[in-house]
Structure 1
Amino acid sequence: MLPTVPGNGPTGYSVADYTAIRDICEHLKASSTKGELAEKIARELEKYSVLALQVICGRLHHEVEHLPSPYREAVRPFFIQQLFGAHHQIMLMFRNGSFWKMRETLTDQVLISEYFLMVQKACFSRETQSDYVPGFNSPYQGLFYFLIAAFQMFVLEGPGHPVGMPFPGGFRVEDHNGVYFCPVRDKEKEVPYSICNFCPAKQTDTLK
């Protein structure tokens, strides 16, 4: 069971929450192959109950509804694919034994270590915000997002956001023969806890 015990600390979470997520991140960043990291991610995702996934889906719906129309309608299916399509893919690959075949060494161990150090902080970043509600902003909901992104970026070496995902201005994430381009890749460097800083995609402006 995930050790979520909201309300025991000054900002809403118990020491067990901080310790658990720290230990998860340390365990993940110690991986040496793509298959090892993928299996560890899948085992963490297995811990999420149907109810927990429904809450995450509700939170996603809540955040998407705040986007302006018609962008909201255009981007909604890509957010669903980014989280729940990827979750289904990971669990399917885990159950059919695909990860055993992934023996390639992880491409950038330093970047992966930096990523999971960031995740430890990011999972608790909403505690001090005015819209913070413990039951709706569990650190494990944030962890779910970062686990999915880690699989996409470090195991599959794909973009953190799905190919085809639109961004304001009419630009999209593109795939050019296995080289990915994103319109915001280099434009969120100052955004705290952004996965863009770890994404293998190139900035769209560099597309020739």
Structure 2
Amino acid sequence: MDPVAVCERCAAARTRGALGTAIAGAVTRFPPIDLQVIGAHLRNEVDRLPSPYREAIRPYFVAQVFGAHHDLLRMHRAGAFERLTAPITHPGRCLEFWAMVPRGCLERDELPDRHAHFNSPRHRLFYYLLAGFSMFVLERPGHPVGTPFPGGFRVEERRGAFLCPIREKEGDLWFSICNYCPADQAETG
């Protein structure tokens, strides 16, 4: 699967439904063995984290990847994207995200204790596709609400707005989904 071609199809979408359809078209091409490998890599990355953070973050990382995967497939099979005709809320940010993804698929994460990553460009593409689905189709943060971060901070939803303690702190990682997330920076100090 060519990440450039996949991202061009996603970038061409003008509505949330068209983007959902484009993402689903790519994600459904991943065979079950890829999902098993991605799950194993995710488990390995989480297992490296110190306790008790490891236990606190595990369900959120699983939800971020496999919960989003389930929601995407469920919506696709139900025909929900055909009815989702609203335009993409942040089209510029969305285009920037899809322009970044092919290069991001080739980047190695130097901070594996802070960012679960996958060991092949193909698997990182899967991660980015699901992040794009969450952020631009569902209009939710890339990290699920409740995701804990060191220091006792969490992704929150308050009165319909999403707040993240690291939203503006990941700028040094140009390939981080945080740079494209619809959440606002939470007050942490």
TM-score between the two structures when normalised by the length of structure 1: 0.84
Deviations 1:170-200 (A, max 9, x none): 1111011210001101111112301111111
**Contact 2:166 2:178 survives alignment (8 Å):** yes
Q: Which residue of 1 aligns with 2:150?
A: 168
Q: Does 1:79 align with 2:67?
A: no
Q: Which residue of 1 aligns with 2:120?
A: 138
Match of 1:27 among 9, 16, 37: 9
Look up the equivalent residue of 2:179 and give its one-letter code.
Answer: N
Look up the equivalent residue of 2:52 and give its one-letter code.
Answer: P
Deviations 1:61-103 (A, max 9, x none): 1111111111001100100000001100110010011111100
TM-score between the two structures when normalised by the length of structure 2: 0.92
Q: Which residue of 2 aligns with 1:51?
A: 33
Task: Report the 3-state secondary structure (helix = DSSP H, G, I; strand = E; otherwise coil) of the residue aligned with 1:126.
Answer: coil
Question: How many angstroms apart in 2 are the aligned matches of 1:119 and 1:159?
Answer: 17
Question: How many angstroms apart in 1 are the aligned matches of 2:132 and 2:174?
Answer: 17
Q: Which residue of 1 aligns with 2:134?
A: 152
- Judging changes above 3 Å, is the alpha-carbon distance between structure 1 residues 206 and 67 closer, same or farther for their aligned structure 2 residues? closer
Look up the equivalent residue of 2:153 and give its one-letter code.
Answer: F
What is the root-mean-square deviation in Å for CA atoms of aligned residues? 1.9
Question: How many angstroms apart in 1 are the aligned matches of 2:106 and 2:186?
Answer: 31
Alpha-carbon deviation of 1:206? 8.1
Look up the equivalent residue of 1:124 and give its one-letter code.
Answer: L
> How many residues end up aligned between the 2 structures?
183
- Within 5 Å, give how 1:1-208 maps onto structure 2: 2=1, 20-126=2-108, 137-205=119-187
Deviations 1:2-48 (A, max 9, x none): 4xxxxxxxxxxxxxxxxx11111111101010000001101111011
Look up the equivalent residue of 2:187 and give its one-letter code.
Answer: D
**Greater RCO (CA < 8 Å, at least 6 residues apart):** 2
Look up the equivalent residue of 1:65 and give its one-letter code.
Answer: D
Could you tell which deviates more after superposition, 45-54 or 105-114? 105-114
Q: Which residue of 2 aligns with 1:7?
A: none
Look up the equivalent residue of 1:29 and give its one-letter code.
Answer: A
